Amino acid sequence: MSAALALDETHDPALASWVVSANAAHTDFPIQNLPFGRFRRGGTAEAWRIGVAIGEQILDLAGAAAASGWPGESATWLAPLAAGDLNAFMAMGPAARRGLRLALSRALREGSPQQAALQACLVAQARSEMAVPCRIGDYTDFYTGIHHATTVGRLFRPDNPLLPNYPWVPIGYHGRSSSIVVSGTPVRRPQGQLKGPDDAAPQLAPTQRLDHELELGAFIGSGNRQGEPIGIDEAEEHLFGLVLLNDWSARDVQAWEYQPLGPFLAKNFASTVSPWIVTMEALAPFRAPFERPAGDPQPLPYLDSAANRASGQLDLVVEAWLQTAAMRAQGQPAVRLSRANVREAAYWTLAQLVTHHTVNGCNLQCGDLLGSGTLSGPAPDQAGSLLELSMGGRQPLTLPNGETRSFLQDGDTLTLRAWAERAGARRIGLGECAGTVLPAGPLRPPPAP
């Protein structure tokens, strides 16, 4: 069993923190979580800092590293974090991650002798500005959502929704890391070539079918050398942690451009991630068996192991919420569009994604991001995209205020949320992944002759 799955004292549901807000029943960030993020105090131009979310606060690790009382190798592990370099810490590997988690847990518990020294290192999340949590080198988006793939396939191929390779190979494509933004960053409606079925020629115009995709993003901690694949039994040790990911999609641009090489401008204009990386250790109490539906082929041997079958999946609830501009103006809260569970939505596990990505010798690097693909449940109201929820736009959704939506309109705010809870464990969450749609920018005129 991977050490990332082992439970220890940091998972004890009875643990309480001297940071009072971390003890609230429904906080995403109790002491059992301790995710990492990059922040600075709002309204300042100070350098970005690395912190740990604890309740409604952030423990500034630059200040914390200067405080006394850290045991053993903690000072070594804190050094890159104090310097603002989360990637350098991620590259230290799982032993450093687990060791610092234990040290932080003990320092933040009720009765900790470090409380007085660390109290001054807290910064309120509400008064902080967040950034993408680490340097992202490469970004690969997979297609693990079996129900999403089936529903979307049925829209275009009613008699053959899943292509023959789907049960055998984790499908993915290489995305663009430069356009990944942090939660709260507005997203401008993209432009691209559009061509309807009856149009004689395509036109350049803003997308009319802007969509969200409810995904998880997995960050690589320590990578592998080129030409040296990562085996399924070692794959989890290379994963640092998870964020929420909204892979915004221009469906009409996608329909015209995706053949024969797949997604391009329909996807690379923006992807939004939540600001806190929840480590694999924090998710250890919420693992679930990996099971294929009856009659489906089992994975090839290189994608199979006893540990992956026993606990490769995640028991994690994921949701999408929508607040329109009119709802915001009238003081109405967001409405939930969908809720699903990763356990029944994902056809492949994270370990299988890492292993398959490297089986040809591809070298993953620290900070690389792997997207899960849209996570939809089997029921219609569990769909992780508007493309599914509106059946390709043919069945618009009616919102509580009477508005309808087939796809996102300007001013809409789309928010993703996720959490895990289980008897005998403390509930933890991933925070929020939100973005508001801005109108398309003006088309640039052609150059003068």
Q: How far apart, in whole angstroms, are the C-alpha atoms of residue 268 and residue 261?
A: 14
Residue 249 is which amino acid? S
Q: How far apart, in whole angstroms, are the C-alpha atoms of residue 386 and residue 188?
A: 18
Which of 55, 6, 7, 62 minimizes the C-alpha distance to 31?
A: 55
Q: How far apart, in whole angstroms, are the C-alpha atoms of residue 270 and residue 254?
A: 14
DSSP class of residue 346? B
Q: How far apart, in whole angstroms, are the C-alpha atoms of residue 37 and residue 335?
A: 27
Three-state secondary structure call for residue 398: strand
DSSP class of residue 1? -
Residue 215 burial class via C-beta count within 10 angstroms: exposed 0-12, middle 13-18, buried 19 and up: buried
Helix axes 74-82, 94-108, angle to 10 degrees: 90
Half-sphere exposure (Cβ direction) of 68: Cα atoms closer than 13 Å: 1
Which of 389, 130, 417 minimizes the C-alpha distance to 275?
A: 130
Which of 294, 322, 298 minimizes the C-alpha distance to 211?
A: 322
Asked whether the beta carbons of 429 and 418 are under 8 A apart, the reply is: yes
Q: How far apart, in whole angstroms, are the C-alpha atoms of residue 163 and residue 153?
A: 8
Tell me the catalytic residues: 148
DSSP state string for 205-265:
EE-S-EE--EEEEEEESS---TT-PPPTTTGGGGEEEEEEEE--EEHHHHHHH-TTT--ST
Task: Name 216's Cβ contacts closer than 8 Å, sequence gap at least 6.
Answer: 242, 243, 244, 245, 314, 316, 318, 342, 371, 372, 375, 418
Q: How far apart, in whole angstroms, are the C-alpha atoms of residue 238 and residue 266?
A: 30
Q: How far apart, in whole angstroms, are the C-alpha atoms of residue 210 and residue 254?
A: 10
